[in-house]
A and B are shown apart, each in its own frame.
Chain A
């Protein structure tokens, strides 16, 4: 009987400490901005199934992924056993055996315990002897690894040799662990499943409209929660083009700062401003919003929305790069970042030799949303004209909006200028309303993303397709006139807003295959594609004084290392960024960048 009393005392103490801390976090989260994450419960449960129980993203890095999978499941089994034993211990009169007195549970415990210990040894070996870049090597982590080992060992020893003392070691360690958990980095054990459940179902969706955030009550609760769910595994840093290029940003540190913010270690109420002093301006502006960090994050943290909130705050104070200011001013007044006259928007069509319909004046099936770079940048001119000739030769009934089109606002929004985004969207919706068309096609992935997902469905709930999707569909239907096969090897760059944002990987590859091109993949392809560095408004900003390597340079080097001479892109900004990078690296003789439409035109004969 005194055993039960001791257990009661220990349990109440552990749960008390645990509850106090958790209550503190919940209070902070309740004080944050609201954001509805209770929709589509089914989809959310499925996420938990795949990402938590199945550990899908962790297994992307197979060695540690499998180890983590084993430890996770051992942990689940041991947790079940622990609570079973706890209940049994607290209420000795219950007519049930202890967990380890049940045969199948014993087997489960022993098998998972042994596997768990092996996995722990592997994890420890990795941590101490072969640590990957950006793994946070804290004493905290060693403590947790040790605690888990004790939990497993004590239980196994207790079972195997029937030592009563071991039962106590086990129970005390677990209760201590429980009490300590919310104070440690391994809070992710507790928070990650919730992070996944409350994750964003729409990849890359902009955070809810706000004037930006710096203090903790100005972030949404899910943004703050990112800090709690983070395990500091460093997958985000290892995939971040800005981090890899030596820019100031580390997504992992960003999450760490969010954790500090939730804990109250620097919440902007004191001397330092969270945005500006704790998280520095150059970090906030270094993000290319490519979504690689979020794609890799096992706990579905939301680095990009957090950065956008911070950018909104800086933009609200006019605190930004002069080049960016200039671009935003131009976008506001002229509808394009170049500060070029709106009337010159369709000037590129003059060299085509055939007229393109004005969708405002006559009905068309496809409304081609051309975008700023394709319309104004002389370096993209040839590709834009090629696309026009391809559409023409394919017999598509298409038109453009001429000077009625404005920048779609995708990167304006990602740069944190929400008001300007709304204004651009309004102007475009107005001109959509005056035009007659069935479907929007665009050659610009940035425009595609925002038109498809962020413009209200009131634009007629029409389909929006990237032109590679349209071409791929026409090819599959046998309705696309290709005259000859281009016998050459190429590599292909997945643009962020088509790839990670929209999971469109196959359509462009189908078109490449149909042209007779042999595709040699770069090591970083599909969701692993490395951003060109131009997204999220970066293309309008100046580079910082110190960095290692522009992402675009790293990318063209990656392409040049393959046995190909052509890097195919399907995004006007990629064309500009990579052409520049090829010039700065002096790779002109070894690699050329081609927009897919130029190759399609060749193949049409």
Chain B
């Protein structure tokens, strides 16, 4: 069993996001990157499968600030091989990201065959598409998204995947392997890995580098950001100000006016 996990870094929204001069992109200087949340879940799902069935996990990431930390963390958690694609032009879109992944998967020895390719279902910056279906199409593998659980069939030729639907309904799918799954959430929240283990991984694990090639056809259908601005939500709601008991009193007045008591 070989599980390939695709990891992408995304802006950390805990920090305030600033817009770069020109108003069309985020200010990269004020930005910290963090492993996309659902990619973290994809890695966790791979680790759970490894614990249950035994598997080799390869984590493949696209170069970005702090990506090494993410890969060493993945190694400390149990990824057997870690690799990053380097040399892309910065500011690549998600569809380009998917093609960089596909390129590396095709070019680098040992990434294929993979029985399962797991990645996050969607990142907060996936403006022009999703990684998982594009990679699946390129490799002619089946794709299923919004997956929240995976169990291998005894034959290891297929997996049962749980997909979320609206209203709390879930669907159980039988998926022939190899397949690409877009993970919404792993069966358990991503595990904690102690800092000492990450540090040990930094010393003992080598991150392989895969050189990105220029994308062949010179580009994808244009999606251009005309303007970017911070969502100023406070403009919408009427904001109540004061100490907790003051605002609580005000709010109760409003609720009473509307007959909510």
Measured CA separation A420–B198 after assembly (Å): 10
Residues of A within 8 A of B192 (CB): 315, 318, 320, 325, 328-329
Instruction: Report whether A420 and B15 are in contact in the complex, using a CB–CB cutoff of 8 Å.
Output: no
Q: Contacts of B217 on A, CB cut-off 8 Å?
A: none
Which residues of chain A come closer than 8 Å to B256, judged between CB atoms? none
Q: Mark A326-357, 1 if CB is under 8 A from B, else 0.
A: 00110011100001110100000000000000
**Cβ contacts under 8 Å, B14 to chain A:** 334, 339-341
* Set of chain B residues within 8 Å of A332, measured between Cβ atoms: 195
The answer to whether A318 and B195 have CB atoms under 8 Å apart is no
Alpha-carbon gap, A486 to B16, bound state (A) = 44
Say whether, besides A339-B14, A341-B15, A333 and B34 are in contact (CB < 8 Å): yes
Question: Closest CB of chain B to A459's CB: distance in Å?
Answer: 21
Confirm or deny: B191 has a beta carbon within 8 angstroms of a beta carbon on chain A: yes
Cβ of B196 < 8 Å from any Cβ of A? yes
Please tell me if the beta carbons of A318 and B196 are within 8 angstroms of each other in the complex: no
A318 contacts which chain B residues (CB < 8 A)?
A: 191-194
Task: Indicate whether A422 reaches chain B with its CB closer than 8 angstroms.
Answer: yes
User: What B residues does A418 contact at CB under 8 A?
Assistant: 194, 196
Q: Convert B170-207 into 0s and 1s, putting 1 for each residue whose CB lies closer than 8 angstroms to a CB of A.
A: 00000000000000000001011111111100000000
Which residues of chain A are near B15, meaning CB under 8 Å? 341, 343
User: How far, in whole Å, are A328 and B195 apart by their CA atoms in the complex?
Assistant: 10
Mark A293-316 against chain B: 1 for CB-CB distance below 8 A, else 0. 000000000000000000000011
Which residue in chain B gives the minimum CB-CB distance to A344? B16
**How far apart sit A318 and B76, CA to CA, in the bound complex (Å)?**
11
A422 to B194, CA, bound (A): 12
Least CB separation from A332: chain B residue:
B195
With A322-B189, A333-B34, A419-B199 as contacts: A341 and B194 at CB distance below 8 Å: no
CA gap between A509 and B16 in the complex, in Å:
43
Is A444 located at the chain interface by the 8 A CB criterion? no
Which residues in B have their C-beta under 8 angstroms from that of A343? 15-16
Bound Cα distance from A211 to B197, whole angstroms: 10
Once the chains are docked, how many angstroms separate the CA of A325 from the CA of B189? 10
Select B194's contact among A333, A339, A340, A419, beta carbons within 8 Å. Answer: A419
Task: Decide if A463 is an interface residue (CB 8 Å cutoff).
Answer: no
* Residue numbers in A under 8 Å from B194 (CB-CB): 315-316, 318, 417-420
Knowing A322-B189, A333-B34, say if A211 contacts B196 (CB, 8 Å). yes
Residues of chain B within 8 A (CB-CB) of A333 are 34
Min distance, Cβ A501 to any Cβ of chain B, angstroms: 24
Task: Answer whether A419 and B196 are a contact pair too, CB < 8 Å, given A318-B191, A333-B34.
Answer: yes
Q: How far is the CB of B65 from chain A (nearest CB, A)?
A: 13
With a CB–CB cut-off of 8 A, which chain B residues contact A322? 189
Chain B residue contacts of A316, Cβ below 8 A: 194, 196-197
What residues on A are CB-neighbors of B189 within 8 Å? 322, 325
Q: Does A585 contact B (CB under 8 A)?
A: no
Q: A340 contacts which chain B residues (CB < 8 A)?
A: 14
CA distance in complex: A3, B228 (Å): 104
The verdict on A423 contacting chain B, using a C-beta distance below 8 Å, is yes
Q: A211: which B residues are within 8 A, CB to CB?
A: 196
Residue of B nearest to A322 (CB): B189
For residue A175, give the distance in angstroms from its CB to the closest CB of chain B. Answer: 51
CB < 8 Å: which of B16, B34, B191, B198 contacts A419?
B198
Residues from chain A with a CB closer than 8 A to the CB of B34 are: 333
* Interfacial residues of chain A within 413-447, with CB under 8 A of chain B in the complex: 417-420, 422-423
A320 contacts across to B, CB distance below 8 A: 192
Residues in A whose Cβ lies below 8 Å from that of B195: 332, 417, 419-420, 422-423
Among B14, B16, B191, B192, residue most surrounded by chain A Cβ atoms (within 10 Å): B192
| A224 nearest CB across to chain B (Å) | 23
Of the candidates B15, B189, B196, the one having the most CB atoms from chain A within 10 angstroms of its own CB is B196
Complex CA–CA separation, A422 to B195 (angstroms) = 9
Contacts of A339 in B (CB 8 A): 14
A341 touches B16 (CB 8 A): yes
Report the minimum CB–CB distance from A372 to chain B (whole Å): 15
Distance A420 CA – B73 CA, assembled complex (angstroms): 13
Q: Given the complex of chains A and B, what is the CA–CA distance between A333 and B40 in angstroms?
A: 15
Give chain A residues whose Cβ lies under 8 Å from the Cβ of B191.
318, 325
Q: How far is the CA of A457 from the CA of B225 in the complex (A)?
A: 53
Give A322 to B191 CA distance when docked, in angstroms: 9
Residues of chain B with a CB closer than 8 A to A315's CB: 192, 194
| Closest B residue to A319 using CB positions | B192
For A321, the closest partner residue in chain B by CB is B192
Q: How far is B189's CA from A423's CA once the two chains are assembled, in angstroms?
A: 24
Bits for A392-421, please: 1 = Cβ < 8 Å to B, else 0: 000000000000000000000000011110
Residue of B193, B194, B199 with most chain A CB atoms under a 10 A cut-off: B194
13 contacts between A and B (CB under 8 A): A316-B197, A318-B192, A322-B189, A325-B191, A328-B192, A332-B195, A334-B14, A343-B16, A417-B195, A419-B197, A419-B199, A420-B195, A423-B199
**7 closest Cβ contacts across the A-B interface?**
A419-B196, A419-B195, A325-B192, A420-B195, A318-B191, A318-B192, A341-B15
Contacts A419-B195, A419-B199 known; 6 new A-B pairs at CB < 8 A: A318-B191, A333-B34, A334-B14, A341-B14, A341-B15, A420-B194
Q: Which residues of A contact B (CB under 8 A)?
A: 211, 315-316, 318, 320, 322, 325, 328-329, 332-334, 339-341, 343, 417-420, 422-423
